[in-house]
Amino acid sequence: MLPLLSSVLLLFLTLSQNVSGASNQIIQKRSSNQVYDQIFFSNVGFNGYYSPVTSLGDNDTCSCEIGDNVYFSGTNSPLNEPVSVHFRGPLILHKFAYYTSDNFIINEDNSSDWTRDAYFDAASSAAENVTFLTKAGDSSACLGKALTYADSDGISSATSNTLLGNGTLITSDQEYVIFSNISCSKSGFDNDCGVYRDGIPAYHGYYGTTKMFLFEFEMPTETQKNSSSFSYYDMPAIWLLNANIPRTSQYPGSVNCSCWASGCGEFDIFEVMNGTQDRKSTRLNSSHTVVSRMPSSA
């Protein structure tokens, strides 16, 4: 891994308003040590639709059912829907925060009126409105591993909401997710969180058309040498998903078992891409784009 990822990075993501066709640019790249101060994303959001899950299949048949198309449009859609925040190692998360604004307009300094609605600081064990979950639950051939509360190591199962430990390093392939601390009512198509997998701790994602996520983290180079044993060796990432996705299945055995493939929303904020120089990407895919504004992967 290039040295740029071994330093502490602070990344600001502002899903800006009134734009379409995602693009991003790096601001203030310091050439000497390749540390990025900021990555700026604009033109997020498009019009399209996805297929919501109405029932989840069993382990064997994996026949998940989908409902009528959900159409989305307007600013930042479909990421104006609630999102969960995902982390893959090698990574150490020091701080995380989520802000919303009702009236922020990009490039107008006087329009920002941000409220902090979630916060995590590993060094001081401070946390507001965060729930750390990980895939340490039951294994299903159809739905993959179920979510559980994450223990302080980020990857083991805990019995209740537990804070990530100070300085916790997750390694290649290891992942955890942050949701809000607002519990979902029971699984059901017409309920607040839609259909979700049996037995998981189910929480709402982070709401808001205009939201800002702040991260302070490290992505140290993987030290394990058995690279071929991993799916994502030395490829750390931080990304957003429509919160419906992980509550059903993040890596399903059938496309109908989550709304991911039909395009309910993923945003790859910061991801190490093998063989690419800048090691960042955006992906906001829908296989059902109504207006043809499909962003290209960076």
Ligand X SMILES: *[C@@H]1O[C@H](CO)[C@@H](O)[C@H](O)[C@H]1NC(C)=O
Summarize as ranges the residues that interact with ligand X (CB under 6 A): 59, 66, 108, 110, 117-118, 123, 128-129, 139-141, 166-167, 180-182, 204, 206-207, 224, 226, 229-230, 254-256, 261, 274-275, 285, 287, 294
Q: What ranges in 131-278 are assigned the alpha helix state H?
A: 244-248
Structure-token pair, residue 266:
């993923």
Q: With the CA atoms of 94, 280, 223 and 250 taken in that order, what torsion angle do they form, in degrees rounded to the nearest 10?
A: 80
Sign of dihedral through CA atoms 237, 289, 212, 152?
negative
Cβ-based nearer residue to ligand X, 19 or 261: 261
Cβ-based nearer residue to ligand X, 31 or 277: 277
Cβ-based nearer residue to ligand X, 30 or 179: 179
Whose tokens are 């059938």? That residue is 254
CB of 30 to ligand X, least distance (A): 23
Contact in structure between 130 and 120 (CB atoms under 8 Å): yes
CB of 32 to ligand X, least distance (A): 25
Cβ-based nearer residue to ligand X, 108 or 190: 108
Residue 123 amino acid letter: A
**Which residues are CB-contacts of 51 (< 8 A; sequence separation ≥ 6)?**
66, 67, 69, 70, 256, 259, 262
Structure-token pair, residue 194:
């839609």
CB of 49 to ligand X, least distance (A): 13
CB of 123 to ligand X, least distance (A): 4
Cβ-based nearer residue to ligand X, 156 or 229: 229
Cβ-based nearer residue to ligand X, 140 or 244: 140
CB of 230 to ligand X, least distance (A): 5
CB of 31 to ligand X, least distance (A): 24
CB of 28 to ligand X, least distance (A): 22
**Which residues are CB-contacts of 97 (< 8 A; sequence separation ≥ 6)?**
116, 118, 119, 120, 213, 214
* Beta strands 266-271 and 237-242, pairing class: antiparallel
Cβ-based nearer residue to ligand X, 30 or 126: 126
Classify residue 72 as exposed, middle or buried by CB count within 10 Å of its CB (0-12, 13-18, 19+). Answer: buried
Alpha-carbon distance of 49 to 72, in angstroms, equals 6
